[in-house]
Amino acid sequence: MPDQVFAIVGAGLAGANTAQQLRGEGFDGRIVLIGEEPERPYERPPLSKEYLRGEQAAGAFEALDESFYAEHDIDLRTSTRVSRIDLAAREVVLGEEAMRQHYDQLLIATGSDARRLRVPGHDLPGVHYLRTIEDADALRDAAGQAERVVVVGSGWIGAEVSASLRQLGLAVTMVGRDAAPLARVLGPEVSSLYRDLHREHGVELIAGVGVAALRGDEVVRGVETDDGRRIDADLVVVGIGSQPRTELAVAAGLEVERGIVVDATLRASAPGVYAAGDVAAAWHPVLETRLQVEHWDNARRQGRHAARSMLGARDPFVRLPYFYSDQFDLGMEYRGYAVDWDRVVFRGAPERREFIAFWLKDGRVTAAMNANIWKVGKPLAALIESGRRVDVQRLQDDSVPLDDLDALTTRQAAS
């Protein structure tokens, strides 16, 4: 395909992995990788952890070596904004000068933006978000001059930023609507462990409330909750979730339902157009639902899968959702998809924060999280994917190997 042009809008992890996989699959046409940020594609998880704490340099988590793009003839265009996608002409329009780039196949991998807090005082200096390296640099500089910080939001970003800023020595208050950090995703049994973890490390938690206003004159001076409390702060970090960057897709007339609607092969609703990463709402044929997953692993793997689909493969993307988090001395991996469940059980020692938690629905494991226990991902994924009913006592028993599926499941389901 030497005369074909594959354009990738979004030079993040999904976009970089797509370009790399295209060359790995033998595509010898032109690859144009377009990104708004001035940096080469990089991984975002360190921004709330090692990079924010000053333990890791920016170049350490680039998606690909700097030399890769030139060596593999990838036209990487940083600091370049795509203003429009012309589906009829198969062109992307670049920047204010309206330069046009033809494509034969197009991948949209525009990622997501931090959701903004819309309350009085939201635009005061001293209010920070975290999505890019530039955001992390600004937040780290501000943290070096601050003493007391309020983190608004108790999801993944809020919890990780709270941990990192506390480790930097700041007085940290985390404010969230849920009963405990991560309660909405993990439920009360596991989120209570994160609540205790943060409290033990000196994070003040104010749960079950929202933010009514940010107070200050020339800079932010505090947070007012919707139950009337006032919390002093000289730095506020907002981590209340994200929203996929679908503006280009909507304007182009692609089907969008929160994310860009794609099938199991990551094809969008127009010929020759695909989407991957945070912005994609992909049909999962095994889970039989549409998933929009905003995490490093999904961006990396969907990018590779999209490359194969752009080259004509029609295999579905069936990987289970996966994410990880490190907070203080608790590292974890979560895999599966638990929207609702009727039971959570543990293997190991939750009191020592060395355990595996299992979310069960109708006797089947729908998700599992290993905390400070490693190299168990494959058997956990196999257990979830099997869809078999488990024997709960055996599931909790450390002496029963996790990779012995027959031993973990009931005889009725195994027969």
Same fold, 116-240 and 329-414: no
Q: What is the mean pLDDT of residues 75-102?
A: 94
Distances (CA, A) of 387 to 244, 329, 345: 31, 32, 17
User: Contact, 143 vs 172, CB < 8 A?
Assistant: no
What pLDDT is recorded for position 414?
40
**pLDDT score for 2:** 75
* Predicted pLDDT at 410: 75
pLDDT digits (tens, 9 = 90+) for 201-232: 999 999 999 999 999 999 999 999 999 999 99
pLDDT at 411 over 70: no
Across the range 284-288, mean pLDDT stands at: 93
β-bridge partners, 315: none
Place 95 in a pLDDT band, splitting at 50, 70 and 90. Answer: confident
| All structural domains of the chain with their residue ranges | 5-113+243-310, 116-240, 329-414
Query: Within 13 Å, how many C-alpha atoms sit on residue 151's CB side?
Result: 31
Q: What is the pLDDT of residue 97?
A: 72
Return the CATH architecture of domain 329-414.
Answer: 2-Layer Sandwich (3.30)
105 has pLDDT over 70 = yes
pLDDT at 365: 98
Helix (H) or strand (E) holding 347: strand 343-349
- Rounded Cα distance between 393 and 276, Å, is 40
> What whole-number percentage of the chain has pLDDT above 90?
96
Q: How confident is the model at residue 415 (pLDDT cuts 50, 70, 90)?
A: very low
pLDDT score recorded for residue 405: 95
**Helices marked H in 268-400:** 296-310, 377-386, 392-396
User: Rounded to a whole number, what is the distance in angstroms from the first to the last CA of the chain?
Assistant: 50
Quickly state the pLDDT bin for 413 (edges 50, 70, 90): very low
Q: Which residues make beta-bridge pairs with 15?
A: none
Per-residue confidence (pLDDT) for residue 230, from 0 to 100: 97
d(CA 171, CA 163): 11
CB 231 within 8 Å of CB 173: yes
In this structure, whether the domain defined by 5-113+243-310 belongs to CATH 3.40.718.10 is answered with no
pLDDT of residue 412: 46
Tell me how far CA of residue 162 lies from CA of 143, 204, 310, 392, in angstroms.
Answer: 12, 10, 40, 35
Token output for 165: 């800023």
The mean predicted confidence, pLDDT, of the chain is: 96
Q: By the 8 A CB rule, do 17 and 266 touch? A: no
Average pLDDT over residues 133-151: 97
Q: What is the pTM of this model?
A: 0.95
Q: Which superfamily does CATH assign the domain made up of 116-240 to?
A: FAD/NAD(P)-binding domain (3.50.50.60)
